[in-house]
Chains A and B, each alone.
Chain A
């Protein structure tokens, strides 16, 4: 518990509704527990409406828990005087790349965060240069965002979060609106930040292959954490995943069907490559 950077303890949350028939309140989060350790890459999976975004917004005090607590670097998100300190530590990137870029020039947008913090111009410049370099967008710093590709816009949004020098980056379905090449671009950048800067990452997605690369996977349904563990363990619970209406990774379901047909494949196959290797081994063994 003490080693976690973000600690979500028994958090429940309900959105305010028009009719307040008290007992009928639908919990968007229902006693959720989650720990994010420094430098860890956590993927959060779950179908639409399972509460992923609601959880994400609790991690930097955009929403405050109705019950339970969220601690960021030891600070309770409900304490108002720590609000800005918390937002400096947990950067957030959203789904729609168009709706999170504020300024009409890339570098001015990246500067938005440190400008809010009231940093001296020289320091802002340096932070902007570093953040753009970290996402490989330095050469486009004077471009107009609307002329960039989806993947590039999303990298600008990541740079905007990085300029605050957060210890943790929360990305809420950052690839949902991108084409496959844009998805790869964004995933590569975030994995590099995680590896090279030791930045903790909470990556919300509904793409299995993206979650497969995480250190740990959380599966949400109905506002609750249903499954949790390393990708290999979680993805091999194919029946459970189907119960939560999630796709089973193609390699896992192929292996499952082959096993059902009597092919003696080992447990824990996750990627297509592993499946191919296992099949080749079987073949050379016979």
Chain B
């Protein structure tokens, strides 16, 4: 395993319409879309939501294989959901396997669950594929800032994300180095039972954690030395700004939401 190949998030650099949107617009859009995905009852509603997601994929100019790659980790989860729904929903039986039956109602529910899950993951992947982690952090901080009086630690969360982004590559490098040093001394991380491999990782994790705590300590001192005193009174060099593209996106989002809700309320979708 080459640890260097591990990347954070899955940003796909580009200059598409979606890339150029303000991260706040995209965050809100994903939030709306994930609610909209659960609203429809009938086919026209699903079609609308699916079409909307597909148009967004097309606008992102991210190759479809990257988007599908995001679905891989949820395959098992999806299979389980589909099977459970298919077998455990009571109704008119279609096939019989032993004393288990797949029902018509079960198949419908399975399909619905699968579609919802895929749309959900695709829309969330679109956000991270078209927004650099730094902009995502900024966007999140700005969106959460109004909630700070309610006790939402907007600045602290954003700072934690920033530091994580900064240090994940460093820690990965370090883990790689320690593993290679251990391998040179005969450690084997590739073969043997899962338990043995996990045991083999202990001599890697311990020095890594010790070093990480020292790093955290030194970083805190360095931040203090540069005048860090929490989020209050702090400014940002990079200001987020909405543009024409964002205004257009808002208009489309409003129309889309009205359509989905309308279909649902009128009982047509």
Contact = CB atoms under 8 A, between A and B. Distances in A.
A101 B237 contact: no
Interface stretch (B82-90, B165-173, B201-209, B249-257): B165-173
Contacts of B237: 107-108, 111, 114-115, 121, 124-125, 128
Interface in B130-166: 133-134, 162-163, 165-166
A125 B225 CA distance: 20
Given A112-B226, A113-B227, A102 B239 contact: no
A232 to B, nearest CB: 33
Interface centre among A84, A116, A118 (most CB of B within 10 A): A116
Nearest to A160: B226
Interface stretch (A24-32, A91-99, A263-271): A91-99
Contact of B133 (A96, A104, A111, A115): A104
A36 interface: no
Given A99-B218, A121-B239, A161 B226 contact: yes
A173 interface: no
Given A119-B235, A121-B238, A104 B134 contact: yes
Nearest to B173: A146
Contacts of A107: 237
Nearest to A107: B237
Nearest to B231: A116
Residue of B163, B224, B227 with most chain A CB atoms under a 10 A cut-off? B227
B103 to A, nearest CB: 51
A100 interface: yes
B65 interface: no
A102 B223 contact: yes
Contacts of B239: 121
Contacts of B166: 101-104, 109, 145-146
A102 B237 CA distance: 15
A99 B238 CA distance: 23
A118 B231 CA distance: 10
Contacts of A96: 215, 218
Contacts of A75: none
Interface residues of B, number: 29
Interface string B219-239: 101111111110001111111
Nearest to B221: A62
Contacts of B234: 115-116, 118
A125 B238 CA distance: 8
Contact of B222 (A94, A114, A145): A94
Contact of B227 (A87, A105, A124): A87
B171 to A, nearest CB: 10
A161 B224 CA distance: 11
Contacts of B221: 57, 62, 94
A145 B234 CA distance: 23
A115 B162 contact: no
Which of B162, B165, B229, B237 has its CB near the most chain A CB atoms (within 10 A)?
A: B237
Contacts of B223: 102, 112
A62 B134 contact: no
A96 B110 CA distance: 54
A208 B13 CA distance: 47
A42 B222 CA distance: 21
A100 B236 contact: no
Nearest to A124: B237
A62 B225 contact: yes
A84 B227 CA distance: 6
Contacts of B225: 60, 62, 87, 91-92, 94, 161
User: 6 closest A-B pairs (Cβ-Cβ)?
Assistant: A100-B222, A99-B218, A111-B237, A124-B237, A116-B227, A104-B165
Interface of A: 57, 60, 62, 84, 87-88, 91-92, 94, 96, 98-105, 107-109, 111-121, 124-125, 128, 144-146, 157, 160-161, 164
13 contacts: A62-B225, A84-B229, A92-B222, A98-B170, A99-B218, A102-B222, A102-B223, A103-B134, A112-B228, A115-B235, A115-B236, A117-B227, A119-B235
